[in-house]
Structure 1
């Protein structure tokens, strides 16, 4: 419960800071840079390096890849057919294709399904969502950003994107069984602990909700896609694959609930960094998180039929 309150209060702090004249107007860019160059690499080193690698991880991990691929195909097709601006398409793909599987997902899953559910949530988040946001999301941002880039330049940008670079480093540490501990672990944990409040304050600083913003069809396209369509696809696919019972039932439930989470905070950071409708990206996260508490309740009661 405290984590969820932290999420909401951090957004409200960001909204409040907008009213302070002395507060720098470019603060969100500075905060986003700190997150990308310091915090996300720390998170990668902490968690990916300690993950147990095995074939049983494939189903939970696949959730993030299915969601992002679906978003890319759907919004890419609709955007081209309906003549949407490229930065709008890119924003909807990235924010609609990435679930907040960690900072909102972890406390909710642990509260509902306990420690065993949390273990599955980590699999959905770390090698799933975290790898997608560090690779595919950067490719999409480069393709749909204002600046047109060659394939070679896109590959280079992805490889030098700090979270992805440190993901590869953490993976090597994992493969060679090099354990991070002691003072280094404590320092990384301190940086990682700042992710949720700093990221959400940055989101709150960019939320200026006006009536016209709520009337924006693209906001609702993104939220309906993320909160309803995406989890429905995972529900149907995983129900068919798992025929949920026993341990597989828990994998099924956690996978659907994680798919139903609001857009990932980091998706808003990337969209803002690449100038992909920053305001829309902030609204998708800022409105999506509180709204998701209502839709998640509905998904929870639906899944309770599968005991």
Structure 2
């Protein structure tokens, strides 16, 4: 639970730091670049080569892909029929479609379901959420970005985007059976350890809390999808269609009930997809999810 305390501390630190005049106005942008160009590639090299997929874990892993796929389908459809600007649609697809399966998810799953639950949560995060945010989310961000780009420009941006490039390298390492070890692994671990404090501080710096922010229909549509709709969908689909029971069902639903992923919001922000909305979805979603996850836990018990 110490990780959850750190989440609250660094999120509040970012919010409070908005009032420190000695900090540069572009600090959040610098932090986001560090995350994109340094931390996410380090995470790819650390985790993806070690993924071991087994058939019985296919459904829990699929939960992350279902969440993102439905997010793209639903918000993409609503965006067209309701004439939303592309930046709003893209922000909701990415930020609401990705669950915070690691920084919030891991400590909660550990507390609720122990080490056996953590094994399932780890695969959901690595083979689901992390692959999506390193690849598909980048494609979605490039499609919905407010900047007008040709298909060639979008393809170039995706292929030269550091997280996606290192995603491809890490997958090749996985296929080749090569894993990073020794001093380089220690270095990657040190870099990866900065993700939570840096990302949450960055998000906090960009959160503008005001009555108008809480009246945003897009905020509550995104959180309604993330905290209520998608865990309910996974519960019904896995239990009544695929007859999944026990720990795999419980961890799958709880992981999908997590608040929006911090890294997903960073992807949206760096592509200028409604940065304020992306920050609010995380900043409001994390504390609110502590309540909704408790409800889901008792439903599953």
Question: Does TM, normalized by the shorter one, top 0.5?
Answer: yes
1:53 Cα deviation after fit:
3.2
Structure 1 counterpart of 2:52: 52
- The separation in 1 between residues aligned to 2:207 and 2:129, in whole angstroms, is 24
1:154 Cα deviation after fit:
2.2
1:241 Cα deviation after fit:
4.0
Match of 1:296 among 288, 293, 297: 293
TM-score by length of 2: 0.97
- The separation in 2 between residues aligned to 1:168 and 1:240, in whole angstroms, is 36
1:134 Cα deviation after fit:
1.5
- The separation in 1 between residues aligned to 2:69 and 2:242, in whole angstroms, is 21
Structure 1 counterpart of 2:273: 276
**Where do residues 65-214 of structure 1 align in structure 2 (5 Å cutoff)?**
65-214=65-214
Answer whether contact 1:15 1:206 (CA < 8 A) is retained.
yes
* 1:33-62 residue CA offsets vs partner (Å, 9 max, x unmatched): 000110111111111111213333421221
Structure 1 counterpart of 2:258: 261
1:244 Cα deviation after fit:
3.5
Answer whether contact 1:257 1:296 (CA < 8 A) is retained.
yes
- The separation in 2 between residues aligned to 1:177 and 1:155, in whole angstroms, is 28
Answer whether contact 2:260 2:281 (CA < 8 A) is retained.
yes
1:142 Cα deviation after fit:
1.2
1:100 Cα deviation after fit:
0.3
Structure 2 counterpart of 1:21: 21
1:175 Cα deviation after fit:
1.8
Please report the RMSD computed on the Cα atoms of aligned residues, expressed in angstroms. 1.2
* 1:253-274 residue CA offsets vs partner (Å, 9 max, x unmatched): 1110011000000111111111
1:194 Cα deviation after fit:
0.2
Structure 2 counterpart of 1:227: 227
* 1:113-169 residue CA offsets vs partner (Å, 9 max, x unmatched): 111110110111111011111122111111111112233332222222211211221
* 1:65-116 residue CA offsets vs partner (Å, 9 max, x unmatched): 1111101111111111111111111111111100000110011011111111
- The separation in 1 between residues aligned to 2:199 and 2:104, in whole angstroms, is 13
Q: SS of the residue aligned with 1:262? A: coil
Structure 2 counterpart of 1:62: 62
Answer whether contact 2:135 2:167 (CA < 8 A) is retained.
no
- The separation in 2 between residues aligned to 1:62 and 1:84, in whole angstroms, is 29
Answer whether contact 1:242 1:252 (CA < 8 A) is retained.
no
* 1:2-49 residue CA offsets vs partner (Å, 9 max, x unmatched): 000011000001011111101011011100000011011111111111
- The separation in 1 between residues aligned to 2:19 and 2:262, in whole angstroms, is 22
- Corresponding position: 1:31 with 2:31: yes
- Gaps of at least 5 residues in structure 2 are none
- The separation in 2 between residues aligned to 1:227 and 1:42, in whole angstroms, is 29
Answer whether contact 2:235 2:253 (CA < 8 A) is retained.
yes
1:236 Cα deviation after fit:
0.8
TM-score by length of 1: 0.95
Answer whether contact 1:94 1:267 (CA < 8 A) is retained.
yes
1:284 Cα deviation after fit:
0.3
- The separation in 1 between residues aligned to 2:240 and 2:198, in whole angstroms, is 40
- The separation in 1 between residues aligned to 2:55 and 2:282, in whole angstroms, is 33
- The separation in 1 between residues aligned to 2:38 and 2:244, in whole angstroms, is 40
